[in-house]
Structure 1
Amino acid sequence: MPIRAQNRRVSRTAVAALGAVGLIAVGAAPAAFADQAAPELVVGDIAPIEGVRPGSSLDQSVTVTNKGTTAADKVWVFYSVTRGLDFADVPSNCETHQVPSYDEMTAKWNVVCEFAQAVAPGASYAPEKPLVIKALDRALKDDLRVLVADSDPQLDESATTPVPGTAPAVKLVERQPGGEGTEQAVDVPVTSVNTADYQVTGASLTGDVGDTVILKAQFNNRGPAWVLTREGEPLVQVLITPPAGTSVVEPHGFCEAKGKAYACGTSQRWVDEDGGETYVFKLKIDKKVAGAKGSVALSTEARPFDPDKTNDRDDVTLDVTDGGSTGSTGSSGSTGSTGSAGSTGGSSDGSDSSAGGSSAGDSGSSTTGGNLAATGSSSATLPIAGAALAVAVAGAGTLVAVRRRAQNPS
């Protein structure tokens, strides 16, 4: 888990990697260029940042060192934060832009600063004034990425139009070498003191024996923080147990059977505040069981950010009525509709996306013998089909004739 949503776009990272392989294969990069000396800029180590309070700011200093044998004529410093963080007092020699969530990537707020200053081999520099990063009300587990380069970093194809900062421009000032890192980019976890309330909602179902009913169970994050699950951390699961006396005709696409229950994942490794999933199941009522009751519950891994455990479980009740026709459908909140998985949030780029579940499927097709049989006509079917075929053949011949005249004008 999680069971990932289907029909995702191909990862841009994968496409870029394939493009690079293609260039190498056709010899687009001459070998002579590989031997030329070039600047080698690295960014200084940045320790993980913890204990940040929503609404507060932190000044992030960055050191740039040239470990190459050639001077860098210009320097660019690229900052990127996830959606619980933002930038303040951006200098005028920097530009800000945003990149919405796509594929497996979260939404990002980025700043690119250009410094028209040379950095000699072995020298270390830092912006004279650190960039101000502020923690938003939804901050909890966020990431900061810092990258340095001697050429302008290329923007993501989904990036918004860059906007220049309005604070006074800053320049690089020399620093004593020492403590510099070894990488061109560093990723820094930023942890804030905040909470997020995970909760689930069950359903009340009604129907007759033989009916197919729709169960819609929900998982929501009521915030105030969004939750980004980092690599190696367990993802939340939602365990759905149908009421006794029912059988699952069609489970939700994010769910798989685990004994009598179904373990359901999320569509992404993060959950926005006011976001979540709706899990849709088609259940058939096989028999009436007095007091039949199922459940929706969160998995039991530790979630220190979620101290309220009272809403981690809810009931799924079933009322089997006496009499009435069989074959009708019913659900919590609607009758006669098969339903689909709905979203509970918005995009993670600031409009706050739901991690949204996929549809549980459309209602079944006709069982009266196929589309032709369902028309109620049988004896006329073959003559009509034959006439249609003849018309199609004649039309095709006409089209060929027209094309030949067009190619050989008289």
Structure 2
Amino acid sequence: MPMPPHNRRASLAAVAALGAAALIALGAAPAAFGNEGASELVVGGIEPIDGVRPGSSFDLPVTVANRGTEAAEKVWVSYSVTRGLDFAEVPSNCRAQQVPSYDEMPERWIAVCAFDQAVEPGVVYTPEKPLRVKALDRALNDELRVRVGEADPGADENGTPPVAGTAPAVKLVEGQAGGEGSARFVDVPVTSVNTADYQVTGAALKGSVGDTVTMKVRFTNAGPAWVLTGEGDRLVQVLVTPPAGTSVVKPHGFCEAEGEVYACGTSQRSVNDGGRETYTFELKIDKKVAGAKGSVVLSAEARPFDPNKANDKADITLDVTGGGSTGSTGSSTNGADGAGGSAGGSSSVGDDGTTTNDANLAETGSSATLPITVAAATAVVTGAGLLMVRRRRATA
């Protein structure tokens, strides 16, 4: 569901669902971790990763330590990477699953590795062979999360069934002190050298004065990279200005009017490679304005990953044909009515966003003589009424 340009109000149920999903998918400690005795596991050893080339791979040098007073008898280490990354190989003591985007969280891969061995207090451990991650062609700004715990975090019920790895199993070995971390989970940004091409598509509208026409404009990420906007950072907006001589009968549900311009948001804080948003408006043609032209343009925040600015703006053209007049009756393919009812014939829109008008009344069995007949009958009734009034006055 598209995200409006400003924050949405979430229901209590949605907030609760999002919180539960975050506990499972994003690595916050579940309730089971509250009864672990005197052991205190922490993870560390990972620094931000920058300058990765799509197609290349890198290792995750994770450390696990126990800051408590008793040994942890078994340990689970969980790895989560967003959709620009994947695991190059998964050891057989680990299981992996793909989780699609939901609750405004991006698509990701999760690997959970079980180490059936004790982790003693005051000792730093590391996997004897670090987990290897590869950068896909769509990698750009990705996120990595590593978590440690004494309880199996379980699988994400929204993801694919977990699959055991096929690479040789690994175990934890004692490492050098230092870099053992201070928390149960750590988040690390992974930045790749890549680009993404944001672009917009306008529309060519056609109709008569009084018609209601459908306008579709689009925003597309032509890739090759997907784009994950950081938490709290400004999301891209699509700014739509309808042509002069028209009025907006029905805007897209997630576009907000800011004067004569409509600011439209995107579905989530991430935009997949090849992903698109289509914004549909119903416009009333109020009058013919020579050379009337609207626009669709991307908002002006910095996008260093998108060097091609030539396709950040597109025109919305309007060809007003025929006579027509506001207030005449008719129909449109979208069934708009009431204050936004169409007039003067039926309108249709193609997949390319072009809207055309087709006032062929003959196909419906209607005739252009019907309005004339009704008008003539009305005139006869009105004349008869006036004649009766005059006769009554004469009698009186």
Distance 1:188 1:34, change over 3 A: closer
Conservation of the 8 A alpha-carbon contact between 2:229 and 2:235: yes
**1:243-283: CA deviation from partner (whole Å, max 9, x where unpaired):** 00001111111111112111111121111111120001111
Match of 2:5 in 1: 2
> Which residue does the alignment assign to 1:300?
300
TM-score (norm. length: structure 2): 0.77
Contact 2:40–2:68 (Cα < 8 Å) also in 1:
yes
Q: State the SS of the aligned residue for 1:10.
A: helix
User: 1:14 maps to what in 2?
Assistant: 19
Q: Which residue number corresponds to residue 390 of structure 2?
A: none
Matched, 1:214 2:214: yes
Task: State the SS of the aligned residue for 1:137.
Answer: coil
Q: CA deviation at 1:285?
A: 0.6
Matched with 1:107 is 107
CA drift of 1:330 comes to: 6.9
Q: How does 1:170-319 map to 2 (within 5 A)?
A: 170-319=170-319
Distance 1:36 1:137, change over 3 A: closer
Q: Distance in 2 between matches of 1:200 and 1:53?
A: 28
Instruction: State the secondary structure of the residue aligned to 1:321.
Output: strand
Task: Call closer, same or farther: CA 1:112–1:269 in 2, change over 3 Å.
Answer: same
Cα distance in 2 between the residues matched to 1:174 and 1:238: 53
In structure 2, do the counterparts of structure 1 residues 38 and 96 end up closer, same or farther at CA, with 3 Å as the change threshold? same
Aligned partner of 1:68 in structure 2 is: 68
Deviation for aligned residue 1:10: 2.6
* Corresponding position of 1:364: none
Deviates more, 1:34-43 or 1:160-169: 34-43
Q: Deviations over 1:356-381 (max 9, x none)?
A: xxxxxxxxxxxxxxxxxxxxxxxxxx
- Quote the offset at 1:329 in angstroms: 6.1
Alignment of 1:14-163 (within 5 A): 14-15=19-20, 37-163=37-163
Q: Report if aligned partners of 1:4, 1:254 keep a CA contact under 8 Å in 2.
A: no
Q: Identity rate of aligned residues, in percent?
A: 66
8 Å contact 1:215–1:280 — kept in the other structure? yes
Are the counterparts in 2 of residues 280 and 341 from structure 1 also a CA contact under 8 Å? no
- Are residues 142 and 35 of structure 1, via their aligned partners in 2, closer, same or farther at CA, if it must alter by over 3 Å? closer
Change (3 A) 1:329 1:203: farther
Inter-partner Cα distance in structure 2 for 1:241 and 1:214? 14
By how many angstroms is 1:154 displaced?
2.2
In terms of Rg, which structure is larger? 2
Q: Which consecutive residues of structure 1, in runs of 5 or more, have no partner in the other structure? A: 19-28, 343-410
What is the RMSD of the two structures over their aligned residues, measured on CA atoms? Answer: 2.7
Q: What is the count of residue pairs matched by the alignment?
A: 326
Contact kept, 8 Å, 1:208 with 1:324, in 2: the verdict is yes
Structure 2: runs of 5 or more not aligned: 24-30, 334-344, 353-396
Structure 2 CA distance for partners of 1:199 and 1:64, relative to 1, 3 Å: same
Mapped to 1, the partners of 2:92 and 2:6 lie a distance apart of 44
CA contact (8 A) 1:278 1:341 kept: no
Please tell me the residue identity of whatever aligns with 1:273.
Answer: D
